């Protein structure tokens, strides 16, 4: 029986059968031969997710001073049997279509240009592709699995996909190929996990070579400057030996705009790996630290948004950021955990030196639950119970103007409010399928869904992302501004209330509403609350006072 993978648009892709693999390898060998004759280096990018798909295109777009392409890229995506989005990367990329949805128009144009016009990019599902690469770029995931909600210490690094990839690499690559690990890993992984795995595989193949392994982490920001955040941004790198370092520096100088954004070369890969973890733990800590000030603001009539804007003007404090409803995304919730885990399980220390990093992650992981409390209270003020209230969440992704839903604050908001008996709807212009719900029994992996921390979650597998905002608004009791997508910034209160069919509870989770809008919602009979926005009470009192003021009799 042929197996299919179905794209979000409903198109069916047949999964390859055993005989297809050798035909596919022949195709790649032919292509590689042609490309080498053109003087191009063959680069295999392993893992075509949010990072790999765009990195593959950036490498494929590389040109020399005469404007001639210098690299041919084979994107390699593992094949699985479940109908999950990852299966579609290879066939869609081969058509020049991006599977990552983003506000950055360069994502589609660079993929289309390299796949269809320059013909420097192809994608495949066969590991045999690795045999052809001069450089192998590893962009597979390395997860951190948490056993409980709000306690990162109870968890472990999940190196399975990475270790499997490294074994396959060791079994297949040319012994002189450079393996560049871009995955964010537990510090120590390149030298103490990757290098030994590949070396062991080399020995099994009778090869005496020292594997050339290097690390250089990604700082990609999916969003408006997705492509540029890979190509035009500072990189840090390091190799396991002199030759690996020389090769990684050469490669990055060729594919990244290092003239404007110079490379930092560190002595050892553990330093590059630690730089990534510290960088993200720093940001997670900055955000977590504001959670307590957010509560302080709510309880004392302070608008945290304005406080932050006031502080930001001071150049030394310009990176202070208003924390949204939970600090999601793939990286910030897990990276500090990889550091804690490495200290014990790679480096063998028993003591507990980490205080701030785990605390920050725990605070961030549970911040969104407070949104459910605000919603409950706002509805209660309107005399409506939360149970069976119709609630619309605006935004499913973890940050503005991207379609990435991983560990988004919105997921926890939906789960908690469902547990409290509410009926949830969601709108997101960037997300067609919210796999965390639709496939909650198998995505991100079996028994890894956040579903396990809440009760009454079964019905959420029927949750569908509404694309028509007007329809989504119809008849709701409450609206939650959860993500700063540009589509929501100018939504007018009159339009919201009209489409909802009457006054509703409005919850601003991300400093989206200005004072004029908050005032208008109150004037329309709504209740408004917001994370860190204690001043709404003042606006409410002002509206009430204006309403109650006796009308002055006309003069004369």
Residues in touch with ligand NAD (CB under 6 A)? 46-52, 76-78, 86, 139-142, 161, 164-165, 168, 183-184, 218, 220, 222, 330-331
Nearer to ligand NAD, 122 or 375 (CB): 122
Would you state the structure tokens that stand for residue 445, as one six-digit string?
């992996």
Nearer to ligand NAD, 125 or 481 (CB): 125
Contact partners, residue 490, CB within 8 Å, separation at least 6: none
Element (H, E) at 390: strand 390-394
Nearer to ligand NAD, 231 or 517 (CB): 231
Nearer to ligand NAD, 130 or 472 (CB): 130
Supply φ then ψ for residue 48, to 5 degrees.
-105, 55
Question: How is residue 5 annotated by DSSP?
Answer: E
Distance of closest approach, residue 349 Cβ to ligand NAD, in angstroms: 23
Query: What is the separation of C-alpha 457 from the centre of its chain, rounded to a whole number of angstroms?
Result: 23
**Three-class HEC string of 99-146:** CCCECCHHHHHHHHHHHHHCCCEEEECCHHHHHHCCEEEECCCCEEEE
Would you state the structure tokens that stand for residue 434, as one six-digit string?
């919210």
Nearer to ligand NAD, 27 or 455 (CB): 27
Taking a C-beta distance cutoff of 8 angstroms, is the pair 75, 90 a contact?
A: yes
Taking Cα atoms as reference points, which of 73, 49, 62, 227 lies closest to residue 135? 73
Q: Report the sign of the C-alpha dihedral through residues 402, 404, 409, 410, in that order.
A: positive
Nearer to ligand NAD, 127 or 437 (CB): 127
Distance of closest approach, residue 49 Cβ to ligand NAD, in angstroms: 2
Nearer to ligand NAD, 74 or 393 (CB): 74
Taking a C-beta distance cutoff of 8 angstroms, is the pair 412, 368 a contact?
A: yes
Distance of closest approach, residue 146 Cβ to ligand NAD, in angstroms: 15
Would you state the structure tokens that stand for residue 154, as one six-digit string?
């109870």
Distance of closest approach, residue 48 Cβ to ligand NAD, in angstroms: 6
Q: Which residue of the chain is nearest ligand NAD when measured via CB?
A: 49
Taking a C-beta distance cutoff of 8 angstroms, is the pair 123, 77 a contact?
A: yes
Distance of closest approach, residue 220 Cβ to ligand NAD, in angstroms: 5
**How close are the terminal C-alpha atoms of the chain, in Å?**
90
Distance of closest approach, residue 415 Cβ to ligand NAD, in angstroms: 21
Distance of closest approach, residue 121 Cβ to ligand NAD, in angstroms: 16
């Amino acid at each position: 029986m042929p197996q299919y993978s179905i794209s979000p648009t409903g198109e069916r892709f047949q999964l390859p059968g055993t005989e297809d693999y050798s035909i596919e390898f022949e195709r790649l060998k032919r292509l590689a031969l042609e490309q080498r004759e053109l003087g191009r280096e063959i680069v295999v990018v392993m893992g075509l997710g949010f990072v790999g798909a765009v990195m593959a295109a950036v490498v494929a777009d590389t040109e020399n001073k005469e404007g001639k392409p210098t690299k041919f890229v084979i994107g390699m995506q593992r094949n699985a049997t479940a109908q999950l989005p990852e299966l579609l990367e290879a066939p869609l990329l081969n058509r020049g279509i991006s599977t990552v949805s983003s506000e950055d128009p360069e994502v589609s144009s660079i993929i289309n240009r390299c796949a269809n016009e320059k013909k420097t990019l192809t994608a495949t599902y066969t590991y045999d592709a690795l045999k052809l690469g001069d450089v192998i770029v590893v962009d597979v995931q390395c997860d951190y699995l948490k056993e409980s909600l709000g306690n990162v210490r109870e968890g472990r690094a999940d190196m399975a996909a990475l270790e499997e990839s490294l074994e396959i690499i060791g079994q297949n690559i040319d012994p002189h190929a450079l393996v560049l690990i871009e995955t964010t890993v537990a510090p120590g992984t390149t030298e103490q996990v990757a290098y030994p795995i590949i070396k062991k595989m080399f020995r099994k193949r009778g090869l005496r070579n020292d594997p050339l392994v290097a690390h250089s982490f990604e700082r990609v920001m999916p969003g408006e400057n997705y492509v540029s955040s890979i190509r035009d941004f500072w990189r840090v790198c390091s190799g396991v030996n002199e030759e690996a370092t020389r090769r990684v520096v050469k490669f990055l100088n060729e594919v990244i705009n290092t003239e404007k954004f110079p490379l930092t070369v560190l002595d050892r890969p553990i330093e590059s790996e630690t730089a990534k973890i510290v960088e993200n733990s720093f940001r997670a800590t900055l955000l977590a630290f504001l959670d307590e000030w957010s509560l302080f603001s709510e309880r004392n009539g302070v608008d945290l948004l304005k406080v932050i804007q006031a502080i930001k003007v001071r150049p030394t404090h310009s990176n202070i950021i208003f924390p949204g409803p939970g600090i999601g995304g793939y990286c910030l919730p897990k990276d500090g955990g990889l550091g804690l885990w490495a200290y014990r399980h790679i480096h063998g220390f028993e003591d507990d030196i980490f205080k701030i990093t785990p605390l920050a992650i725990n605070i961030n992981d549970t911040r969104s639950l407070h949104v459910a409390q605000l919603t409950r209270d706002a509805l209660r003020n309107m005399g409506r119970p939360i149970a069976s209230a119709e609630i619309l969440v605006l935004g499913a992704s973890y940050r503005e103007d991207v379609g990435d839903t991983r560990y988004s604050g919105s997921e926890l908001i939906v789960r908690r409010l469902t547990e409290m008996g509410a009926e949830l709807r969601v709108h997101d212009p960037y997300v067609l399928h919210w796999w965390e719900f639709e496939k909650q029994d198998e995505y991100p992996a079996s028994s890894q869904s956040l579903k396990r921390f809440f009760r009454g979650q079964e019905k959420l597998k029927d949750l569908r992302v509404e694309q028509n905002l007007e329809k989504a608004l119809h008849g709701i009791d409450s609206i939650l501004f959860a993500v700063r997508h540009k589509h929501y910034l100018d939504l007018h209160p009159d339009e919201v209330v009209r489409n909802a069919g009457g006054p509703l509870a409005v919850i601003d989770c991300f400093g989206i509403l200005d004072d004029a809008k908050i005032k208008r919602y109150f004037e329309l009979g709504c209740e408004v609350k917001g994370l860190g926005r204690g001043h709404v009470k003042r606006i409410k009192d002002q509206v009430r006072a204006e309403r109650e003021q006796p009308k002055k009799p006309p003069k004369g």
